């Protein structure tokens, strides 16, 4: 009786765990910024950051906008935006320098000197379908090279087809398989395979296609 209850408790806990497959993609930094008119891509100015909630009103909470502004103020972070000529912000993406970490999937590969990790990409629903993530990716590849990073990385869930297509179109290639367990206590990710840091560093020496 007791063991049956214990077993049922175990099964309930197992059912609460979700397995997520992802890949860490990498490529050398530096790229021609590809953005279709009338859109523009740039590193976020204080004016861009101040209007995030107003422009992305349906999709962005004030708390998230504040988090983005805090990240932009951190010298190890940069925030890129795509805008319309009116200044309206249509999407954003982040860079963290020298560390691969992703809060969304709970991945922490620790300090990685010379690596620019791209994360938290977002395009407002009204502007999707215009390759704006590619614009955000290429802008950050350019910005990362300007900060002397050699390799750029980004983590994408295998089920995120739009993001995966953009990342491949921007010349990234998968270098590490990542598994995530999502449970009541949060999310935790692991890199599968040996010598993950060497694999990431090695991707700085090949020629991305296209550039």
Interacting residues toward ligand COA by CB under 6 A: 121-123, 128-133, 156, 160-163, 165-166
The sign one gets for the Cα dihedral 121, 96, 68, 137 is negative
Give me the least distance between CB of 197 and ligand COA, in Å please. 21
CB-neighbour burial class of residue 101 (10 A; exposed 0-12, middle 13-18, buried 19+): middle
Nearer to ligand COA, 7 or 211 (CB): 211
Nearer to ligand COA, 76 or 103 (CB): 103
Nearer to ligand COA, 11 or 36 (CB): 36
Give me the least distance between CB of 92 and ligand COA, in Å please. 9
Q: Are strands 151-157 and 107-123 parallel, antiparallel or unpaired?
A: parallel
Give me the least distance between CB of 80 and ligand COA, in Å please. 12
Give me the least distance between CB of 94 and ligand COA, in Å please. 11
d(CA 56, CA 51): 8
φ, ψ for residue 130 (rounded to 5)?
-115, 15
149 close to 114: Cβ distance less than 8 angstroms: yes
Nearer to ligand COA, 4 or 37 (CB): 37
């Amino acid at each position: 009786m007791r063991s049956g209850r214990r077993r049922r408790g175990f099964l309930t806990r197992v059912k609460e765990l979700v397995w997520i497959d992802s890949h860490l993609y990498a490529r050398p930094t530096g790229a021609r910024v590809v953005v279709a008119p009338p859109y523009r891509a740039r590193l976020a100015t204080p004016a861009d950051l101040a209007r995030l909630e107003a422009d992305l009103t349906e999709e962005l909470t004030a708390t998230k906008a504040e988090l983005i502004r805090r990240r932009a103020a951190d010298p190890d972070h940069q925030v890129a935006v795509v805008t319309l000529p009116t200044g309206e912000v249509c999407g954003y993406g982040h860079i963290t320098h020298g560390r691969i970490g992703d809060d969304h999937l709970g991945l922490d590969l620790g300090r990685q000197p010379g690596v620019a990790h791209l994360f938290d990409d977002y395009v407002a629903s009204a502007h999707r379908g215009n390759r704006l993530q590619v614009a955000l990716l290429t802008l950050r590849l350019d910005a990362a090279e300007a900060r002397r990073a050699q390799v750029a990385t980004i983590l994408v869930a295998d089920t995120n087809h739009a993001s995966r297509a953009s990342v491949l179109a921007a010349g990234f290639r998968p270098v590490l398989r990542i598994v995530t367990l999502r449970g009541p206590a949060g999310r935790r990710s692991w890199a599968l395979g040996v010598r993950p840091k060497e694999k990431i560093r090695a991707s700085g020496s090949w020629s991305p296609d296209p550039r």
